[in-house]
Amino acid sequence: MLYLIGLGLGDVKDITVKGLEIVRQCSRVYLEAYTSILTVGKEALEEYYGRELLLADRDMVEQQADEILKGADVSDVAFLVVGDPFGATTHSDLVLRALNAGIQYRVIHNASIMNAVGCCGLQLYNFGETVSIVFWTDTWRPESFYDKIKKNRDMGLHTLCLLDTSAHLKIYEPPRYMTVAQAAEELLEILQNRRDRDTVCVGLARIGAEDQTIRSGTLQELASCDLGGPLHSMIISGHLHPLEVDMLKLFSGPERLKTLKMTDSSTYVS
Amino acid sequence: MLYLIGLGLGDVKDITVKGLEIVRQCSRVYLEAYTSILTVGKEALEEYYGRELLLADRDMVEQQADEILKGADVSDVAFLVVGDPFGATTHSDLVLRALNAGIQYRVIHNASIMNAVGCCGLQLYNFGETVSIVFWTDTWRPESFYDKIKKNRDMGLHTLCLLDTSAHLKIYEPPRYMTVAQAAEELLEILQNRRDRDTVCVGLARIGAEDQTIRSGTLQELASCDLGGPLHSMIISGHLHPLEVDMLKLFSGPERLKTLKMTDSSTYVS
C-alpha cells in the first residue's frame, strides 16, 4: 500500500493520529521536499516519528517514482507531504504510477494553505481561482496572474495568491521564498490606477505554526511590512461581508484600524 | 484560552496529535453539531478522547456564546469542529466574542472538504467560487447556484458544490442530507441544452473516511448512482488537464470509462 500522508502546516504534532500510526508501521517513509516546508526540519520529524525519512526531491518523484514504489505491493510505503497530499500535480502522477504497477494507495488528509487561509476571517466560499505570483527577473515579468485577480474581483471574489518558492527549482543556490512585501511590490508595479491601490489585502505568514502572522492592509502597507520567515501567501479581497471586515480589523495595523472601522463594507470594493 | 480545533473528515483518529493533546487538557470541550458530521458519533469521540463532550447546536453558538466562553480567560476551553474550524461564518462570530471578552484564541487546523476534494485528481488551483445546492420544495426552487457554476465554467474553472444538510435547521424531524443523485437531478431540471448535460461531474461521498466513494460521470449518470451514506458533495468540472482526465478515469463507471479514454480533454468542456 502507498500511503500519501499530509503533515499539515506547523510542526511535528500537526500530523493526524492516523497519519502518525501509519508512518510508524511503514517499511519506508519518504518526505516530499520541494512543494512546501514545515517550520521544523527533517531531523525534528525523524526524532518525533522515530523513523528515518528519505528525502524525495522533484527529480526523484517525477523520474524515479519506481524507486519510491518498490515493494509497495507487498509492504507499506509512506509518502509525506507538507499540507495536504493533493495540492500539487505531481502527486496525481505518483498515484497513477502506483495503480499501473498494481499498488493500492490511500490518502490521509490534513490542512493545507488552500483551506487554512480561512483563519483570517475571509469566507472560503467567496474565493475565486487561486493564482501564483512568481519572482520577476530583468527579462521575465509575467503579469497574467493579475488578470485572474481582476476577474475574481469583478465577481466580488477573494483571490488567494501563492507566492513563489524557488525551492522547487533545480538550482544550485539556497532556496528563496517570496515574501508578502515582495509580492505586494510586484502588484503595485502592475497596477496603474489609484482605486485598485486601496484594495484590502491580507498577508499571511507561517499559517498553522505557533508564530503565524496575519496582516491586513493596502498593497502599499503590505509592501513595507516584514512578516518574518517563510512561507508567505497573500489574499486580494473581493466583496467584503461585514463579519469579514470585523475579522480583518483584528489583523490591521494601528493606522489602518481607523479606516477599517467604517461599517460600510462596500467601501473596500473597487 | 479558546481553542478552535478541526477534527478532519473521517473518524476519531483524524484529529491531529496537537489537537488531541489540547482536548485532553481542557477544562470543557464542546462539539459543534450542526455544520457537518463525522462518520462516527459523539460517543466514539468521547471514548477515544477520554473526555465528556458538550454538544453545541446552532442556537447555542449564536445566542449563548457566553456560556461556551465562560471561564476561558482563566482556563482552557476547546470547541471542536468537523473539518476545519473556519469553514462556517458563525465561528468567526465566536472568535470576535471571545476577543471582546478579553479571551485569547488559537486555531488547530485540519482537512476540510474545501481542500480534501483534491483527492479526486482535479487541481485545487482550478476551482472557482464554491456553491451550495439546497433541497427544493414545491414553492421554493432557487436556481442562483447555477449561474455561479456557469460563470466558473465559462472561465474553465471547476465548481465544488456543497450539498444541503438540513441538519442545521431548527426543525423537529430527523436531519436530511442531500445525495449526489438528488443534486444531479436538480441540476438536470435547470439545464436545458444537451451540451451542458454531457459535462463531466464528480460525486464524492464520505471523503476522508475508510469507505469514501468517488464517482465521475455525466449528471445523468450521477443522478442514477447510489453513493451511500452522508456527507455527499459534487464537482462540476471546467477545463480538464490531461492528468486530471487520467485521475477521473479511476472513478468512472465501466460504461463511462470508454468515453473518458479519449485523449482530447477539451471534449469535456462545453
- Kindly report which listed range (A157-161, A164-168, B121-125, B254-258) carries the lowest average pLDDT score: B254-258
The per-residue pLDDT for A198 is 82
pLDDT digits (tens, 9 = 90+) for B23-45: 999 999 999 876 666 778 899 99
**All cell numbers assigned to A143:** 503579469
Where residue B94 falls among pLDDT bands split at 50, 70, 90? Answer: very high
Regarding whether B246 and B164 lie in a shared domain, the answer is yes
Residue B89 clears pLDDT 90, i.e. is over it: no
Chain B residue nearest residue A18, CA to CA: B13
Regarding whether A253 and A147 lie in a shared domain, the answer is yes
Query: What interhelical angle do B17-25 and B42-49 show, nearest 10?
Result: 80
CA dist., res. A88 & res. A81, Å (int): 10
Regarding whether B93 and B122 lie in a shared domain, the answer is no
Which of A58, A90, A111 represents a domain boundary (last residue)?
Answer: A111
What CATH code is carried by the domain that includes residue B245?
3.30.950.10
Mutate to test the interface with B, among A5, A17, A239 (most CBs of B within 10 A): A17
- Return residues 135-174 of A near B (CB < 8 Å): 151, 155, 157, 162
User: In this structure, are residues B102 and B2 in contact, taking their beta carbons and an 8 Å threshold?
Assistant: no
Regarding whether B259 and B157 lie in a shared domain, the answer is yes
Task: Report the 10 Å Cβ neighbour count for B225.
Answer: 17
The per-residue pLDDT for B269 is 32
The per-residue pLDDT for A171 is 53
Where residue B254 falls among pLDDT bands split at 50, 70, 90? Answer: low
pLDDT digits (tens, 9 = 90+) for B147-161: 999 999 999 999 999
Contacts of B14 in chain A (CB under 8 A): 16-18, 109
Kindly state whether A125 is in contact with chain B, defined as any CB-CB distance less than 8 angstroms.
yes
The per-residue pLDDT for B193 is 61
Which whole number is the average pLDDT over B132-151?
Answer: 92
Q: Which domain holds residue A19?
A: 2-111
Residue B257 clears pLDDT 70, i.e. is over it: no
Domain count, chain B: 2
Which of A89, A111, A133 represents a domain boundary (last residue)?
Answer: A111
Which whole number is the average pLDDT over A47-56?
Answer: 94
What CATH code is carried by the domain that includes residue B50?
3.40.1010.10
Nearest CB partner across the interface for B17, out of A17, A116, A244: A17
Regarding whether A158 and A90 lie in a shared domain, the answer is no
Nearest CB partner across the interface for A18, out of B14, B99, B118: B14
CA dist., res. B67 & res. A15, Å (int): 31
Residue B110 to residue A114, Cβ atoms within 8 A: no
Residue B111 to residue A84, Cβ atoms within 8 A: yes
Kindly state whether B35 is in contact with chain A, defined as any CB-CB distance less than 8 angstroms.
no
Regarding whether A120 and A88 lie in a shared domain, the answer is no
- Per the prediction, chain B carries an average pLDDT of 87
Residue B13 to residue A13, Cβ atoms within 8 A: no
Which of B92, B111, B130 represents a domain boundary (last residue)?
Answer: B111
The per-residue pLDDT for A58 is 82
How far does the CA of residue A124 sit from the closest CA of chain B (Å)? 7
Element (H, E) at B120: none
Regarding whether A134 and A68 lie in a shared domain, the answer is no
Regarding whether A104 and A186 lie in a shared domain, the answer is no
Regarding whether A103 and A49 lie in a shared domain, the answer is yes
The per-residue pLDDT for A145 is 93
C-alpha distance from residue B133 to each of A37, A155, B47 (Å): 36, 19, 35
Regarding whether B121 and B244 lie in a shared domain, the answer is yes
Regarding whether B79 and B152 lie in a shared domain, the answer is no
User: In this structure, are residues A116 and A207 in contact, taking their beta carbons and an 8 Å threshold?
Assistant: yes
Where residue A267 falls among pLDDT bands split at 50, 70, 90? Answer: very low
Kindly state whether A13 is in contact with chain B, defined as any CB-CB distance less than 8 angstroms.
yes
Regarding whether B185 and B68 lie in a shared domain, the answer is no
Contacts of A149 in chain B (CB under 8 A): none
Residue B174 clears pLDDT 60, i.e. is over it: yes
- Kindly report which listed range (A125-139, B31-45, B249-263) carries the lowest average pLDDT score: B249-263
CA dist., res. B17 & res. A12, Å (int): 9
pLDDT digits (tens, 9 = 90+) for A52-93: 999 998 888 888 899 999 999 999 999 999 999 998 777 999
